[in-house]
């Protein structure tokens, strides 16, 4: 029997990732000037993919890096997948628009119902899209505009789509993410807290929150896997010692710390580096 | 629709006489008439003699049912209506008249036989015909009737009919005046697309027609539904049950549609499959028309459940179902691909009963973000097109498909409209000091009013425990009295638990609306047995299982959270606590009046009950009675099913509205019966005075100020911020345990002892200066009372009779005040941007009049000796649109303490009201409330807004 509507939040079978081009070091977009060590970044990324594939047993689709697309490792921005529908975005940064091509092909390959954002006035980065299992929040940021959010709402008609202004940081998910069904992990900065308030006000649902001292540490990957239960991939104690401690409160979660020290220099967070999807036999 | 035992016999007699007459008539009748009559006759013969002959089949069904059939249920819903209704007075007359008629009837029997035959007979026949096949065109019947009406002696006809109807539809008839008995034919489009035609008297109220439809559908859980009509502008409007149909439809187009009005957030909590089935039909239509948007997969899933419910298991041998599936509409843009997906999913539902398929359908549909959201076009201050969505949880603001703001009911202090503007006043956030008002522009004032009404109704239905009493029965209420008049969700759930009938058989008619191509397909008729079998248990059991459903559990959690909040806050809000402690008069009032909108005391009481089964039983019985007596008494229903309501009950207690209520249980236990009955009859509940000027021009509604549960009622919705705010407000009214006890204590000692009462207050609250008191008030209150600028009535509630030394001048004759209101026009990102404040100074033409009534004795006792002021306090309590400011002073003079209560009541509303009567009522109430005090002075200050003629 078909799964009911809005069931199975965090159930994933597949992950799409992409390699790191050497051009990342010098050409990838970043909000703060920083030296990036590509080798270290690749090592981090390998650990990340290893966790998805080996530790968690997901089918990982690895797209090859493209030197002409320095930011291509951050696949999250190129597509939003929910259920069996995938929305190919129109990234806010002009230089990143072509990243969607490989993503579209991969998603079609996986037999998803692919919807494209063709409207030239629309921009949307996947990093601005927070899906809670019951609804979407779309950050209106430097990269994402109202029109982009509207198209997303059109693509996922079952769900409420609310907009949240992103005052600081690159993306909405630069300071928050889901830590479980109904659990929002949120940074403690003022803009982050403000955004949370707005999300709570806009929602018909009630969310618990886990506040972590560092905004960047609030970006985690939550999964609910059949053989592992609740899983949370989060920052390491080396990076954010205080925040890492907070995750220990999540007693039911299998906690997997992942280092993200290099990618963060080019505004890459944990969620940025993969697109997760659920491909069951019946879909 | 209700049969009264007494009148039934009357009818029977007549029916027999008439039936004799009819045999003759049918021979003589005109061809057209005869056709119809014969059809009717045939049917009648099958069904036997006497009254049944006169009843449409649906009515017979009712009759054969157990006690809790709708027949029995009608009165409660109706009671308040008829109370509100000034025509109430006519009711006995109508009955009396009916008897008279009966006598005449016997005399005139032959006469009528000879010349009123056509009309007298075709009518019932016509009705049965409708019953027999709703699809058949009724034109012939109508025609006949019209002809009859014209040709025959009208008086005769009317008498005939009146008699029949008076007895048969006893209670709804109350809604009908006696003198004009012209009948009109109403066409109601039902959810399955079929037409239901029935006759109502021209002056019948909406409720009458609605009940007729519900009876036809055999629907008991009717509170989720309503009738709509199209106004001049082709806008769909809800038919107000309390008003005459004729006055609402205007264009003399008696065409209606039966629709879901309040979408239950959790359809699994509905008691009967038939209710769920009807909800499914509505949702299928909503989905197919695109009103309820959903994704491809969801369309397919919902469509597959529809197939399962309507045609049963997928049969591989059947001719390719694709042949008919493409004639069914599941989605606005239905593709071949979708149809295939639907069929594929349909296969997977094998073995599912229709009722189960409906449940699955609803379980999925209810999760859709637009489920139950009623959208209205509007513009924000910048003229940007937006949509306002009213739903169970509050008001949603959409721009295109995006939700850009949301105002949960607990956040909204006031809802109003003025001309084509619609305003909501928002509770200040934790960081803000003042409430803000958000305004929206609607197309015209008509749409503003419609939106306002929908808000009032949705708020009442989903957030209140019991509806506010419509203002009419009170004193000095002006304005159009629009309030939600039906039962609230809570009440209807409670009432549903009383449903004790075998699951009614109903036919799933393969959605005529969707397509008629399935007419040849096997009909699935669910019988009692099949239903019981499929559920594996009986309906009662189901109810119990309901109580364990997750929703309830959540409620429980909420309770815990809130009780914590309450305790935490206790210290901080002393002022507010005190304020409420001081509202003794209100407390008392609520003791004296069995006020329907006062769930909590009952709930507290319930706790006692749960421990004593015997009492519980008693209550249960009582409840049934009450149900019939007063619809407003939700609380009664609460008592019915302790197991189910336990959590809710606690929530309510925690949420604590008015202390007075919380304190009531002690007494409630003692005088339960009398109290409730008296209360229902006397209509004394002043706290729910609401003025809602529904003057087409403007109106307001204060969702959060009134007395019932609300905040905790919809658990999912607790938002942190809100909670905090709520906490502030609630704790104000909650003044936790001690006061309740105190109040109860007072009550025990002697409720009528005003003196005592006040001491109690004094003790509770050592020193409270008048200056301090305003802190306890919520700031918006003052604004509110004046903004509607229509009428003020100061009222001296009562004075201590023991010592009457100082005369306090209670004078409310202030100059007319025109308050300016801060209006923040919402912009697209109201939630996000800082608000732009604009000031609107309404221009109001007013007329002011001040009248003072003084008791003679007062002059003597004058201001002689000043005495020592012990305490003075001012309490402002606000209920809906009425603000009551109570000023209590205690002075000590020569060892005697004197307590003086000044009450200032501001009522707003529009102008058709008998002021003298209202005043008399007010004084009477005051006396009743404080029997041992005397009213010494009454000042009426009337300020009337000069009528602006506007639609």
Please report the pLDDT score of residue B874 as a whole number: 53
Do residues A86 and A113 lie in contact, with contact meaning Cβ atoms separated by under 8 Å?
yes
A205 in contact with B at a CB cutoff of 8 Å?
A: yes
The residues of A assigned a catalytic role are 171, 272
Q: Which of A159, A197, A202 has the CB atom closest to B406's CB atom?
A: A202
Q: Which helix (H) or strand (E) holds B630?
A: none
pLDDT digits (tens, 9 = 90+) for A21-65: 999 988 888 878 888 899 999 999 999 999 999 999 999 999 999
Looking at chain A, the whole-number percentage of residues with pLDDT higher than 70 is 97
Selected for mutation to probe chain A from B350, B361, B369, B386 (highest A CB count within 10 Å) is B369
Closest Cβ opposite residue B721 in set A6, A138, A200:
A200
Average pLDDT for B393-400: 94
Q: Helices B154-168 and B90-115 sit at what angle, rounded to 10 degrees?
A: 130
Please indicate if any CB of chain A lies within 8 Å of the CB of B293: yes
Kindly state the percentage of chain B with pLDDT values over 70: 32
CA distance A24 to chain B (A): 35
Written in H, E and C, the secondary structure of chain A is CCCCCCCCCCCCCEEEEECCCCCHHHHCCCCCCCCCCHHHHHHHHHHHHHHHHHHCCCEEEEECCCCCCCCCCCHHHHEEEECCEEEECCCCCHHHCCHHHHHHHHHHHCCCEEEECCCCCCCCCHHHEEECCCEEEEEECCCCCHHHHHHHHHHCCCCEEEEEECCCCCCHHHCEEEEECCEEEEECCHHHHHHHHHHHHHCCCCCEEEEECCCHHHCCEEEEECCCEEEEEECCCCCCHHHHHHHCCCCCCEEEECCCCCHHHHCCCCHHHCEEECCCCCC
Which residues of chain A neighbour B364 with C-beta distances below 8 Å?
Answer: 4-5
* Residue-level pLDDT at A77: 96
Is the pLDDT assigned to residue B322 strictly greater than 70? no
Question: Measured between CB atoms, which of A156, A162, A165 is closest to B295?
Answer: A156
Q: What percent of chain B has pLDDT over 90?
A: 19
Instruction: Using the Cα atoms of residue B57, residue B58, residue B61 and residue B62 in order, give the sign of their dihedral.
Output: negative
Say which range, A224-233, B100-109, B459-468, B646-655, has the weakest mean pLDDT: B646-655
What's the gap in Å between the CA of A197 and the closest CA on chain B? 7
Q: Count Cβ atoms below 10 Å from residue B319 Cβ, excluding itself.
A: 8
* Tokens (6 digits) for A34: 């920083």
B495: nearest Cα among B224, B190, B712: B224
Which of B297, B368, B829 is nearest residue A83 as measured by Cβ atoms? B297
Chain B contact present for A193, CB below 8 A? no
Tell me the shortest Cα–Cα distance from B337 to chain A, in angstroms: 12
Tell me: pLDDT of B208 over 60. Answer: yes
B19-66 per-position pLDDT tens digit: 444 444 444 444 444 444 444 444 444 444 444 444 444 443 443 333
CB pair distance less than 8 Å for A160 and B369: yes
Query: Which pLDDT score is estimated for B168?
Result: 39
List the 337-376 stretch of B: residues with Cβ below 8 A of A: 345, 348-349, 360, 363-364, 367-369
- pLDDT tier at B929, thresholds 50, 70, 90: low
For tokens 């010349």, the residue is B115
The most confident of B52-66, B551-565, B931-945, by mean pLDDT: B931-945
Inter-chain contact A200–B720, Cβ cutoff 8 Å?
yes
DSSP secondary structure code for residue B260 in this structure: E
Task: State the nearest Cα–Cα gap between B349 and chain A, in angstroms.
Answer: 7
Min mean pLDDT across A163-167, B445-449, B538-542, B850-854 is at B538-542
Say yes or no for a CB contact (<8 Å) between B295 and A83: yes
Question: Coil, helix or strand for B126?
Answer: helix
- Greatest Cα pair distance, chain A, in angstroms, is 52
Q: Where are the alpha helices (DSSP H) in B405-444?
A: none
B823 CB near a chain A CB, below 8 Å? no
Whether residue A113 lies within 8 A of chain B, CB to CB, comes out as: yes
In DSSP terms, A86 is beta-bridged to A81, A114
Contact B813, B941 (CB under 8 A): yes
**pLDDT number for residue B567:** 22
Dihedral sign of CA atoms B550, B556, B561, B565 in order = positive
CB pairs under 8 A between A and B: 96
| Residue B100 banded pLDDT, cuts 50, 70, 90 | very low
Q: Nearest residue on chain B to A194, judged by CA atoms?
A: B832
Q: Distance between CA atoms of B693 and B702, rounded to whole angstroms?
A: 12
Specify the 3-state DSSP secondary structure of B407. Answer: strand
Q: What is the pLDDT of residue B885?
A: 54
| DSSP, res B428 | P
Give me the pLDDT at residue B888, please.
Answer: 60
* Distance separating alpha carbons of residues A42 and A62, to the nearest angstrom: 14
- Whether residue B380 contacts residue B393, with contact meaning beta carbons closer than 8 Å, is answered with no
Angstroms from A116 CA to nearest CA on chain B? 15
Cross-chain Cβ contact A200/B369 below 8 Å = no
Residue B388 predicted with pLDDT over 50: yes
Query: For residue A86, is pLDDT > 60?
Result: yes
Q: Kindly state the greatest CA–CA separation across chain B.
A: 101
Which residues touch B419 (CB under 8 Å, ≥6 apart)?
A: B445, B448, B697, B698, B950
Summarised one tens digit per residue, pLDDT across range B236-284 is: 899 999 888 988 887 778 999 999 999 999 999 999 999 999 999 999 9
Residue A146, chain B, CB below 8 Å: the answer is yes
B402/A153 touch (CB, cutoff 8 Å), yes or no: yes
Q: B891: pLDDT confidence band, cut at 50, 70 and 90?
A: low
Task: Considering only CA atoms, give the Rg of chain B.
Answer: 29
- pLDDT value at residue B890: 58
Q: Report strand pairing: B195-201 vs B937-945.
A: unpaired
Partner A contacted by B550 (CB < 8 A): no
Closest Cα of chain B to A205: distance in Å? 6
pLDDT digits over B572-613, tens only? Answer: 333 443 344 333 334 334 444 433 333 333 333 333 333 333
| Local structure of residue B244 (DSSP, 8 states) | B
First vs last C-alpha separation in chain A? 11
CB of B405 less than 8 A from some CB of A: yes
Which residue carries 């019915």 as its tokens? B640
What pLDDT score was predicted for residue B943? 57
Pairwise CA distance, residues A201 & B717, whole Å: 9
Bridge partners, residue B888, by sequence: B873, B901
Find residue B944's DSSP bridge partners: B847
Phi, psi angles (nearest 5°) of residue A129: -110, 115
> Over the range B38-75, which residues count as b (16 or more CB within 10 Å of their CB) and which as e?
ebbbebbeeeeebbbbbbbbbbbbbeebeebbbbbbbb
Nearest CA in chain B to A84: B297
- Chain B contacts of A161, Cβ < 8 Å? 369, 401-403
Any CB–CB contact under 8 A between A7 and chain B? Answer: no
- For B524-546, the pLDDT digits (tens) are 333 333 333 333 332 222 222 23
User: In chain B, which among 682-721 make CB contacts under 8 A with chain A?
Assistant: 715-721
Within a 10 A sphere around the Cβ of B283, how many other Cβ atoms?
27
Lowest mean pLDDT among A73-77, A86-90, B336-340, B894-898: B894-898
Which of B295, B401, B715 shows the shortest C-beta gap to A85? B295
**Which is more confidently placed, A183 or B779?**
A183
Q: Report the candidate in B489, B414, B416, B411 with the shortest Cα–Cα distance to residue B879.
A: B414
Residue B391 confidence (pLDDT) above 70: yes
Q: Which residue has the higher pLDDT, B823 or B668?
A: B823
Asked whether the predicted pLDDT for residue B921 surpasses 50, the reply is yes
CB B881 within 8 A of CB B691: yes
Q: Rounded to an integer, what distance in angstroms lies between the CA atom of residue B680 and that of residue B674?
A: 10
pLDDT, position A186:
96
pLDDT of the residue at B540: 28
Whether B294 sits inside 8 A of A158 (CB atoms) is: yes
Least Cα separation, residue A135 to chain B (angstroms): 8
Nearest CA in chain A to B718: A206
Of A178-192, B280-294, B809-823, the least confident: B809-823
| B235 within 8 A of B446, measured Cβ to Cβ | yes
> Which residues in chain A are closer than 8 Å to B387, comparing Cβ atoms?
none
Q: How far apart are CA B276 and CA B280, in angstroms?
A: 6
Across all residues in chain B, what is the average pLDDT? 57
pLDDT band at B420 (very low <50, low <70, confident <90, very high): very high
A163 to chain B, any CB pair closer than 8 A? The answer is yes
Which of B181-185, B571-575, B797-801 is modeled with the greatest confidence?
B181-185
Nearest CB partner across the interface for B369, out of A2, A4, A158: A158
Query: In chain A, what residues touch B363 (CB-CB under 8 Å)?
Result: 4
Q: Is the pLDDT of residue B474 over 60?
A: no
pLDDT score recorded for residue A31: 79
- When scoring B356, B362, B403, B555 by the number of chain A Cβ atoms within 10 A, the one with the most, hence best to mutate, is B403
Which pLDDT value is given to residue B500?
76
For residue B944, the model assigns a pLDDT of 52
């Amino acid at each position: 029997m078909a799964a009911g509507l809005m069931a199975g939040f965090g159930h994933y079978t597949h992950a799409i990732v992409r390699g790191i081009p050497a051009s990342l070091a010098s050409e990838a977009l970043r909000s703060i000037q920083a030296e990036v060590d590509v080798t270290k970044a690749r090592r981090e990324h390998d650990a990340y993919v290893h966790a998805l594939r080996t530790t968690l047993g997901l089918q990982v689709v690895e797209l090859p890096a493209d030197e002409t697309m320095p930011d291509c490792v951050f696949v999250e921005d190129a597509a939003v997948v929910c259920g069996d529908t995938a929305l190919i975005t129109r990234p806010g940064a002009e230089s990143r628009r072509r990243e969607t091509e490989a993503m579209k092909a991969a998603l079609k390959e996986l037999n998803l119902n692919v919807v494209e954002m063709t409207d030239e006035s629309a921009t949307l980065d996947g990093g601005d899209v927070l899906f809670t299992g019951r609804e979407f929040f779309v950050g209106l940021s430097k990269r994402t505009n109202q029109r982009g959010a509207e198209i997303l709402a059109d693509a996922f008609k079952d769900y409420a789509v609310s907009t949240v202004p992103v005052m600081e940081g690159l993306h909405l998910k630069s300071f928050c993410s889901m830590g479980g069904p109904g659990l929002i992990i949120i940074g403690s900065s003022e803009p982050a807290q403000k955004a949370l308030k707005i999300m709570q006000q806009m929602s018909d649902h009630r969310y618990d929150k886990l506040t972590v001292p560092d905004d960047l540490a609030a970006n985690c990957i939550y999964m609910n896997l059949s053989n592992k239960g609740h899983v949370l991939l989060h920052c390491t104690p080396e990076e954010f010692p205080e925040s890492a401690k907070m995750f220990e409160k999540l007693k039911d979660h299998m906690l997997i710390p992942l280092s993200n020290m290099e990618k963060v220099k080019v505004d890459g967070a944990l969620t940025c580096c993969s697109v997760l999807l659920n491909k069951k036999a019946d879909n | 629709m209700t049969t009264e035992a007494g009148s039934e016999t009357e009818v029977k007699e007549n029916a027999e006489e008439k039936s004799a007459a009819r045999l003759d008539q049918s021979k003589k009748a005109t061809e057209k008439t005869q056709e119809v009559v014969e059809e009717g006759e045939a049917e009648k013969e099958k069904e036997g003699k006497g009254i049944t002959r006169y009843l449409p089949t649906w009515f017979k069904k009712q009759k054969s049912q157990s006690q809790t059939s709708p027949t029995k249920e009608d009165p409660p819903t109706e009671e308040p209506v008829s109370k509100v209704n000034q025509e109430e007075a006519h009711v006995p007359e109508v009955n009396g008249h009916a008897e008279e008629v009966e006598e005449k009837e016997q005399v005139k029997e032959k006469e009528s036989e000879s010349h009123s035959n056509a009309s007298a007979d075709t009518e019932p026949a016509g009705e049965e015909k409708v019953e027999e096949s709703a699809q058949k065109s009724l034109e012939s019947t109508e025609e006949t009737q019209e002809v009859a009406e014209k040709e025959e002696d009208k008086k005769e006809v009317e008498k005939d009919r009146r008699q029949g109807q008076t007895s048969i539809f006893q209670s709804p008839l109350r809604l009908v005046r006696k003198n004009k008995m012209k009948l009109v034919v109403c066409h109601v489009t039902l959810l399955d697309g079929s037409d239901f035609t029935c006759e109502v008297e021209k002056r019948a109220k909406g409720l009458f027609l609605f009940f007729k439809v519900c009876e036809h559908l055999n629907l008991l859980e009717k509170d989720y539904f309503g009738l709509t009509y199209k106004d001049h502008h082709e806008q769909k409007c809800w038919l107000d049950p309390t008003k005459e149909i004729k006055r609402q439809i205007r264009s003399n187009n008696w065409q209606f549609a039966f629709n879901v009005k309040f979408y239950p957030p959790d359809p699994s909590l509905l008691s009967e499959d038939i209710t769920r089935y009807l909800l499914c039909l509505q949702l299928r239509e909503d989905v197919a028309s695109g009103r309820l948007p959903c994704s491809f997969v969801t369309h397919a899933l919902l469509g597959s459940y529809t197939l399962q419910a309507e045609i049963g298991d997928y049969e591989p041998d059947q001719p390719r179902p694709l042949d008919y599936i493409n004639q069914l509409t599941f989605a606005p843009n239905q593709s071949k691909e979708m149809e295939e997906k639907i069929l594929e999913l349909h296969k997977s539902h094998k073995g599912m009963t229709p009722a189960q398929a409906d449940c699955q359908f609803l379980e999925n549909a209810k999760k859709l973000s637009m489920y139950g959201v009623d959208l209205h076009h509007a513009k924000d201050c910048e003229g940007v097109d937006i949509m306002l969505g009213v739903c169970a949880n509050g008001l949603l603001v959409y721009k295109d498909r995006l939700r850009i703001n949301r105002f949960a009911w607990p956040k909204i202090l006031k809802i109003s409209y003025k001309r084509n503007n619609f305003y909501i006043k928002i509770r200040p956030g934790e960081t803000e000091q003042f409430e803000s008002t958000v305004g929206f522009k609607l197309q015209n004032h008509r749409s503003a009013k419609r939106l306002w009404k929908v808000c009032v109704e949705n708020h009442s239905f989903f957030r209140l425990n019991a509806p506010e009493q419509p203002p009419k029965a009170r004193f000095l209420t002006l304005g159009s009295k629009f309030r939600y008049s039906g039962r609230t969700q809570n009440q209807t759930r409670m009432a549903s638990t009383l449903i004790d009938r075998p699951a009614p058989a109903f036919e799933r008619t393969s959605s005529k609306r969707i397509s008629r191509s399935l007419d040849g397909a096997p009909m699935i008729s669910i019988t009692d047995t099949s239903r019981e079998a499929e559920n594996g248990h009986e309906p009662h059991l189901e109810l119990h299982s309901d109580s364990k459903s997750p929703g309830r559990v959540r409620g429980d959690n909420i309770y815990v959270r809130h009780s914590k909040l309450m305790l935490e806050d206790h210290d901080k809000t002393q002022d507010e606590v005190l304020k409420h402690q001081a509202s003794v008069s209100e407390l008392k009032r609520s003791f004296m009046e069995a006020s329907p909108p006062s769930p909590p005391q009952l709930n507290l009481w319930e706790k006692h009950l749960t421990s004593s089964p015997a009492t519980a039983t008693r209550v249960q019985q009582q409840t049934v009675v009450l149900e019939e007596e007063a619809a407003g008494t939700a609380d009664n229903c609460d008592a019915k099913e302790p197991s189910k309501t336990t959590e809710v009950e606690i929530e309510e207690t925690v949420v604590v509205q008015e202390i007075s209520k919380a304190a009531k249980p002690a007494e409630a236990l003692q005088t339960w019966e009398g109290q409730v009955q008296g209360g229902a009859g006397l209509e004394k509940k002043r706290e729910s005075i609401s003025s809602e000027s529904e003057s087409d021009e403007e109106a307001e509604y204060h969702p959060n100020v009134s007395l019932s549960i609300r905040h905790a009622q919809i658990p999912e919705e607790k938002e942190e911020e809100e909670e905090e705010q709520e906490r502030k407000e609630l704790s104000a009214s909650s003044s936790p345990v001690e006061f309740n006890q105190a109040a109860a204590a007072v009550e025990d000692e002697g409720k009528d002892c005003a003196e005592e009462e006040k001491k109690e207050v004094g003790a509770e609250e050592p020193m409270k200066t008048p200056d301090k008191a305003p802190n306890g008030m919520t700031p918006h209150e003052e604004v509110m009372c004046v903004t509607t600028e229509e009428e003020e009535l100061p009222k001296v509630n009562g004075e201590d009779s023991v010592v009457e030394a100082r005369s306090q001048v209670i004078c409310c004759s202030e100059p007319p005040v025109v308050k300016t209101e801060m209006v923040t026009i919402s912009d697209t990102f109201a939630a996000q941007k800082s608000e732009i404040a604009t000031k609107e100074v309404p221009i109001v033409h007013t007329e002011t009049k001040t009248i003072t009534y003084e008791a003679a004795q007062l002059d003597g006792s004058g201001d002689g000796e000043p005495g020592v002021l012990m305490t003075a306090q001012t309490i402002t309590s606000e209920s809906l649109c009425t603000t009551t400011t109570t000023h209590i002073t205690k002075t000590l003079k020569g060892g005697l303490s004197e307590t003086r209560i000044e009450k200032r009541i501001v009522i707003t509303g529009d102008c058709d009201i008998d002021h003298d009567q209202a005043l008399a009522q007010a004084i009477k109430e005051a006396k009743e409330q404080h029997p041992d005090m005397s009213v010494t002075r009454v000042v009426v200050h009337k300020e009337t807004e000069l009528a602006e003629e506007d639609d």
